[in-house]
Chains A and B, each alone.
Chain A
């Protein structure tokens, strides 16, 4: 038995496949067709059932033999995803009719997908590009399986569209309403978020420099800043709407207030990060306050500043969208979400959420890239 190397996921997957085989029909039309052979309706999975089972069993069997891990991963990847695709494609037109074997096969495919991720994450490639590729592929498979299970369960169990639309419907909605989404992004992100983010972070940064120059200000401002950053500042949204009106200016004001204190607290902490020895060295060079600040202390504070910028990137988006609940012109992501929920267009809401998540990730990613470029010397970037 030297060539056999069982692991628990494929073994369980094979058992689930056998259970599905024993239970028989995969959907209620198929059960009806079996009970009444004269019926004319062609049930789903007439031809593909054997293919799905075969794919899963073969992939599971191959993964248990002693093969190079990369080969095993490829076999598992192809088998699991092809089977999942056939499952989802087969239910088309028969939504809500799936029986237990459908879900058993889905679980089996998911287990093989998990095994694939486990094999991939045990790989330790030497080449740099391979490591980067792995770092992207593994989370991508995990995310893809969330979508696959979501799609398969909503369609298989026939979950009402109002409760949870399948990802494919959300994707279709995004594709169909690009102009509306673009207008919302323009209003919320390009006007309120960007302006508020830059103004708020900039003001926090300048206040931190002022607090650093005047020790009295630092001792007084910092405890207050620490306390305020724990407060629910989002509550000022109605006040800002009362002051600055319904346009994007009031949202930008909320974002400014929300991003100010994280920046202040982090920058003050960062300016204290350079060591005494380094500061003494600057003194021996006879450099004054400003040259020391620019050449030594600000670079040393950069990791803290970028930390604040990262925190602020999500805070800014949240602040702008929530502020739109308190009053807005008829455009904007928060406006769209609150009205489409009322009109039960849940797929539009999910489309808006997907766009917001994408925008947030891109925003975060840009800040992270800038961080890598600026603080290339820091241990967390160089890698240990």
Chain B
């Protein structure tokens, strides 16, 4: 198999060994769940249950507000204890707190919806929208929005992202090994919605068993191609993945649909399968719990709303004092200040690093080695953007195309002087965007 790739990128250590051969297990249901009303990019949901209400598994508890939004559902049956601000992975947010009655009663709305052949594209799109499916790779963009491109944009390709280029994480890897058919089914459903006849499933070549399993599962589908990707970070970044598979560059500042492509994560596709065949909305997901501070690293199927603390205790707790607890992978994940945060739709990993690994390196002078320029997958010059940003010179940072940064973190990773490159570029991006908003008002 010829390996596809993009120009630039880095080779961080994989660190996937400790969980890649562990079968996905169902996590124990917790007594109390904290289900955030915003688990997606876009407008937060409005709670449609009241304190004291009884809810069932799969029951909608938050209604989407606006088009770019996605409903949330209860992942257990029980009683609504409170609707209040709680710690969530991005800070604080409104959550529906549910007390689990452990009866696991399924809501009446959860019934099989049919199959690909019996449903029309529009019906599948409605199922996806009502199931609250968002990008499960971590970006959490509402899926139905991606699948509703404007009429003038011709989409001809769907790519499923099975690269899982983040070190440590193995959730997608296990999914592709254990449920390859549901991934293929989900892809076919997405292709039907968009009315396209070319589908790719891209997988990094450090998962040869997953490639094999997916090739086998897609063997009868002549219009679905499983492609091997070179193991290189950020191979799973949307624009880089599109380039690897189709040789098309998404225009600067544009969305993938401008290159005629829609990209979804493999886990998202598998959820589409679940929601069509069982009617169950997105209420649970596979998450990798790993890192040097965790006693028993594992891949768990977790009910959304379960706290990190609960999950970490199920994995034997910490074997040494944790320095950082990260939602997601080590390259783009979000550090958490408390373990009270719940697992959400976009939580692909809980990574716990020990003190030593978590300690921030001391930055020294930029030696202008140019390594950040060599590896930047967006072909930027991170050192110059960063230098201007650190001097509050955001106009110059914009001249150096700060807004084209995809925030993959490769520059900070490679920097021998350990400079806060991405961090300062993020500051520049935020300032530039704020400035633009002000001007357009």
Report if A and B associate in a common complex. Answer: no
